[in-house]
Structure formats: C-alpha cells, structure tokens
Chain A
Amino acid sequence: MKQSLFESRHQPEWDQFAQRLDLLERGKADANDCASFPKDFRQVCQHLALAQERGYSSYLIDPLQQLVLRGHQQLYRYRSRVGAQLLAFVLADFPRLVRAQWPFVLVASLLFFGSLIGIGLLVYRFPELVYSLIPVEQVAEMQSMYDPMAGHLGRAAERAASDDWVMFGYYIMHNIGIAFQTFASGLLFGLGSVFFLFFNGLMIGAVAGHLTHIGYGENFWSFVVGHGAFELSAIALAGAAGLQLGWALIAPGRLPRGEALRLAARKSVSMICGVMLFLLIAAFIEAYWSSRTGPAPLIKYLVGAILWVVVAIYLIFAGRTRHAPD
C-alpha cells in the first residue's frame, strides 16, 4: 500500500486517538469513553509497525511514534489507592519491613545507641570530656535551656501558646532534615550513614551525660523521654535504610550493582516514609507535651515509658497476623 493511501485511510483514527490522549493527559477524560483505549492503542502500535516495515517517510513515523509514546505513558501508569495503601503501610507493612531488615536495624541501633550510651556514661564519669566534643558556648546554651531555676523547657526563652507552633515547625525541619541526610549519605557505601549515626549518638550522649552530671538531669530527662521514643528510633531506622543502600553497593550478590541498588532503594524508601511518620509524631509530642512544665516529672517519665513500650510493641508485633488488614 502506498503511503498516502495508508495515511488518508487512518488519519481520522489517529486524530481521534490524539484527542483522547489530550483529555487523559489533562485528567479530564470520561471513564466510559476510555473503554476502547487499549484497543485503539494497540491499533496505533500496529500502524506504527506497518509504517516502519514498509519504509514510509520519517514525517509519518515520528508522529506515530509520539502517539505511541504518549499512549504508553497513559496505559502503563502505576495507579494506586493511596488511602488503603497508607493504612496497610502503617498497620502492617512498615513494621514488617523493619523486621525483615533486622540486620541493618540492629547494626544501626548498635552504632547510634551504643555511641550515645557509651559517651553519656563517659561524660558522666569524666565531665571535662564534654568540652573536647562540643564547643563551650554550645554547652552553655544547653545548660541555660534545661536550667531548673528558669522554669521553662526546651529552646525558646519564654514559651507562649504560639511558641508551640514555632517549635513544631523547627523540630520538623531540623529532625527530618537530619534523618534524610543520614539516609541519603548511605549511598557512599554506607559510610555516610555510619558517620551520621555515630556523630549524632556522640552529640546527644555527651549533652545528656553533661546535664545529668551538673544536676539538671530531672529537667532534661523528663523533657526528652516522651518524644525520644519516636525521634531516636526514627534516626536509627533512617540509618538502617541508608546502610541498606550502601550494602547493596558493597555486596550486590548475584545482581549487577546498579540493579541491586535500585531494588534496595525501593525498599529503603518505604522505610524512610515510616521514619517521616515517626518524626512527625515526635515533633508533635515534643512541641505540645514534652515542653509542658505543668505535669510532675514522675508523670512524664511514666508517659515516656509507655511511649517507648508502644514503639517497641508496634515494631515487633504489628502486622504479624497472616491476614493483615488491607
């Protein structure tokens, strides 16, 4: 068949297909209209193959190729029901993922909590050590924040209701930023994650040890115990996700490194979504509960302990039933 005959015979179909694509791309297509879309798409694919096989001109083949590309993008779109997926993720998939990745979680936790507790004890025993880790001005600032005489807690000097908002924003910005850095730098063969886990562990541990040593312990611990459950475990999990990326590069198994990295990245990004959720909760608790000076320290310790237990139970037991809600 000559090219011009082929064209004049099928041009109306192509125009119609292009119009439908326009509607789909702008998200205005009617569902009933699209019933024949896959059939039409295959038809255009066949026309393209014919045109190529018969050596028709590039000015016919190129527009057909564009039609097929656009159709391909509309037909093979990954659509998902976000609401149901989110619920399934929170109720089952996230804790399952954490358990499935237990070696990374274990290593990250050991690095983070190990350095935290280790340096905390060291600073408590040898108080001068804190100054070799943290500059003097910062130590002074920390002290003034948790001074029992000052009658306030946290960063802001005078806290009003509107300040809770300030701190909420600040905590989100600051903590999720740290978590993202800890995760992303894992791409450097895991070294970045190891560094950030270790470094953050040292910093937090040193401050905790120092403040306990100079007698601000009650103020400090009652402040951090509540949101710490979510915040500290989130940092450790972000590190675990980063280590997973690095490990895919170090030991890709039987896959090429690029492919192993792609698979690991897909899993670790779900973990990061869980981390973000944890950090949101942590920021909320930190801004609206931890900073409250009303409740007695004992109550805060109790609530904090309950939160730690909740996090542990959630990560260990959620989603173990065979038929998880989905």
Chain B
Amino acid sequence: MRKNLALPRKATLPPPLDTRYQVETPEGIDLPLRPAGLMPRVLAFTVDLGVRGLVLGLLFIALAFLGKLGIGLGSVLLFLVSWWYMVLFEVLNQGCSPGKQLMGLRVVHDDGTPIGWSASLIRNLLRFVDMLPFGYALGAISCLQHPTFKRLGDIAAGTLVIYREQPVTRPQIPLALALPPSFALTLNEQRAVLGFAERQAELSSERVNELAAILAEPLHVAPSHAVAELNGIARGLLGPT
C-alpha cells in the first residue's frame, strides 16, 4: 500500500460511483437511500395495473347481480380504484403498493420520512401528466434523466422511490491466528481487510489468492502466505470472539 495513494484519516470520501442518495438526519447520521430506476418501477406499476384490473373485473361481475344500484356502486368503485388505489396503499402500508411490495420498493419523502397524504396525492394525481402523450413517455424521460430517477409527479411532491432495506446475513470470517498489522492501517484499509475476510466464501480460491498477492509486497510476506496474513490481521481487527 503506497502511502501517497492512501487517503488521510479525516479526509472526506470521494462521492461513490453509484446512485446512493445521502440524507443527513438531525442526529448527524448520513442515511444512504438507494433510489430505484425505471425498470423495477415499470414492473411494479404493471403488477399494480394487473391487480386493479383483476379486482375491478371480479367486483363488476359481483355488482352485475345488483342491477342499477350495482352500476352506480360500480362507477363509484371505478373512481376509487383508478384515482385512490395508489394513495391509500402508499399512505397506509408503509409506502408500498402491492406491486412495489413485490419488487421490494417503497415511496418516502425526500428526507427519508414515510410518505403522507398530501405528497402521495400530489404524486398520484400528477401521474396523469406523466402518462402523456402516450405510455408514460414524459414520466420515463424525466425518470431517466434525473439523478435520483424521479418522474414529474415525484419532483412536484418531493418524494423518492427507493429499494426497501433487506436484512443482511453475516458470514463467518475464516479461522486464523490474530495478528497485529505490520503498519498502521487507515479507516478504509481496515474496512477493506475486514471485507476481504468476510467475503472470502463468495470468491473462488484462485481469485482470493490473486487479490491477496497484490498486498504480499507491502506486508513483507511471500505471495502464498498473503491470504493467511490478511485473515490474521482481520481477526486481530475484529478482536476476540
């Protein structure tokens, strides 16, 4: 690890080369949110469309037996389902309509708080404009050129469609004798060594050796022993279990 390339300890990190969107909370914590792109949102909308079609179809069949009253109820229902389906689900179900639930998405305000009535109403009423002139063309264009993939309704409402957080399962780090690092590691280097040890099971042994061999020289060990050395350092960083 050449010193001139390593970052000084307190330096601000360069912005990551991905679509993460940082929200700073009043507690001074940066929450990373992961905005969802066009494709998963299209799929979620398609699912929602299908669900709505199915529900309406079934209800219309049921209402057909009620005669005139059924027609009246049916048109009220059609109104409710076409304009309120999304709003009700988003506000009452932690920001997920059934389609979003299936695709692992949710809607939140720009500051990461759960979506409320007015924002949800705005974004779903303005859906009408996103659909213009045909097949969601305006919405798709807006979504593709926006850094956090917002369609016009999202821009006006100040909302964000993000991936829901998935629980992570923690891998065991390989057994090794704890070793002190031969020189002081920066924060990022520490995390890189820990990450290397934790993710070893996902990589082939050739790749593991290849990665570790890069560090053989600065660690002053033979390339064949680099993996064991790194695992030892990781173990040492983690501390006794």
A57 and B83 form a contact (CB under 8 A):
no
B126 and A163 form a contact (CB under 8 A):
no
- Chain A residues 41-71 with CB under 8 Å of chain B are 41-42, 45, 48-49, 53-59, 62-63, 65-66, 68-70
A176 and B83 form a contact (CB under 8 A):
yes
A269 and B125 form a contact (CB under 8 A):
yes
A166 and B113 in contact, given A57-B238, A185-B129, A265-B156 (Cβ under 8 angstroms): no
A57 and B194 form a contact (CB under 8 A):
yes
CA distance in complex: A298, B238 (Å): 89
- Chain A residues 138-180 with CB under 8 Å of chain B are 160, 162-170, 172-173, 176-177, 180
A172 and B25 form a contact (CB under 8 A):
no
- Chain B residues 177-211 with CB under 8 Å of chain A are 185-188, 190-191, 194-195, 198
CA distance in complex: A266, B114 (Å): 16
In the complex, which residues of chain B have a beta carbon less than 8 angstroms from the beta carbon of A76? 25, 111-113
In the complex, which residues of chain A have a beta carbon less than 8 angstroms from the beta carbon of B171? 59
A261 and B156 in contact, given A59-B198, A165-B73, A176-B79 (Cβ under 8 angstroms): yes
Between A5, A49, A183, A269, the greatest number of chain B beta carbons within 10 A of the residue's beta carbon is seen for A269
In the complex, which residues of chain A have a beta carbon less than 8 angstroms from the beta carbon of B167? 63, 66
Interface flag for A103 (CB, 8 Å):
no
- Chain B residues 57-80 with CB under 8 Å of chain A are 67-69, 71-76, 78-79
CA distance in complex: A265, B125 (Å): 11
A3 and B238 form a contact (CB under 8 A):
yes
Binary contact readout B146-176 vs A (1 if CB under 8 angstroms, 0 otherwise)? 0000001001111000000101101100000
A169 and B240 in contact, given A69-B165, A162-B67 (Cβ under 8 angstroms): no
A166 and B71 in contact, given A4-B239, A177-B79, A245-B156 (Cβ under 8 angstroms): yes
B29 and A169 form a contact (CB under 8 A):
no
Binary contact readout B107-124 vs A (1 if CB under 8 angstroms, 0 otherwise)? 010011110101001100
Interface flag for B31 (CB, 8 Å):
yes
CA distance in complex: A76, B23 (Å): 13
In the complex, which residues of chain A have a beta carbon less than 8 angstroms from the beta carbon of B155? 258, 261-262
In the complex, which residues of chain B have a beta carbon less than 8 angstroms from the beta carbon of A25? 94
In whole Å, how far is B11's beta carbon from the nearest beta carbon of chain A?
A: 13
In whole Å, how far is B108's beta carbon from the nearest beta carbon of chain A?
A: 7
Q: How large is the interface on A (under 10, 10 to 19, 20 to 34, 35 or more residues)?
A: 35 or more
- Chain B residues 20-67 with CB under 8 Å of chain A are 25, 27-29, 31-33, 67
Cβ contact of B121, chosen from A62, A176, A192, A272, cutoff 8 A: A272
Between B118, B152, B157, B187, the greatest number of chain A beta carbons within 10 A of the residue's beta carbon is seen for B118
A170 and B112 form a contact (CB under 8 A):
no
Interface flag for A187 (CB, 8 Å):
yes
Interface flag for B4 (CB, 8 Å):
no
Binary contact readout A215-251 vs B (1 if CB under 8 angstroms, 0 otherwise)? 0000000000000000000000000000001000000
Interface flag for B215 (CB, 8 Å):
no
In the complex, which residues of chain A have a beta carbon less than 8 angstroms from the beta carbon of B195? 57-58
A56 and B71 form a contact (CB under 8 A):
no
In whole Å, how far is B144's beta carbon from the nearest beta carbon of chain A?
A: 16
Interface flag for A91 (CB, 8 Å):
no
A262 and B157 in contact, given A45-B29, A57-B194, A272-B121 (Cβ under 8 angstroms): yes
A188 and B122 in contact, given A3-B237, A169-B75 (Cβ under 8 angstroms): no
B83 and A169 form a contact (CB under 8 A):
no
A173 and B79 in contact, given A59-B168, A72-B25 (Cβ under 8 angstroms): yes
Interface flag for B128 (CB, 8 Å):
yes
A172 and B75 in contact, given A77-B113, A187-B129 (Cβ under 8 angstroms): yes
CA distance in complex: A48, B122 (Å): 35
Interface flag for A119 (CB, 8 Å):
no
In the complex, which residues of chain B have a beta carbon less than 8 angstroms from the beta carbon of A160? 68
A4 and B69 in contact, given A49-B28, A57-B198 (Cβ under 8 angstroms): no
Residue of B nearest to A26 (CB): B94
Residue of B nearest to A180 (CB): B125
In whole Å, how far is A145's beta carbon from the nearest beta carbon of chain B?
A: 18
A59 and B170 in contact, given A78-B116, A170-B75 (Cβ under 8 angstroms): yes
Cβ contact of B128, chosen from A181, A258, A266, cutoff 8 A: A181
User: What are 22 sample pairs from A and B whose C-beta atoms fall under 8 A apart?
Assistant: A2-B237, A2-B240, A3-B238, A4-B241, A48-B29, A54-B187, A55-B185, A55-B186, A56-B194, A68-B25, A72-B113, A160-B68, A162-B69, A168-B72, A169-B72, A173-B79, A184-B129, A258-B155, A262-B155, A262-B156, A265-B126, A266-B118
Where the two chains meet, the residues of A that have a C-beta atom closer than 8 Å to any C-beta of B are 1-5, 25, 41-42, 45, 48-49, 53-59, 62-63, 65-66, 68-70, 72-73, 76-78, 160, 162-170, 172-173, 176-177, 180-181, 183-185, 187-188, 192, 245, 258, 261-262, 264-266, 269-270, 272-273
Q: What are the 5 tightest A-B residue pairs by CB atom distance, in nearest-first order?
A: A2-B239, A165-B72, A169-B75, A55-B190, A57-B194
Known pairs A3-B239, A68-B31, A164-B72. 13 more at Cβ < 8 A? A55-B237, A56-B191, A59-B168, A69-B33, A160-B68, A162-B67, A168-B72, A172-B76, A176-B83, A180-B128, A188-B132, A269-B122, A270-B118
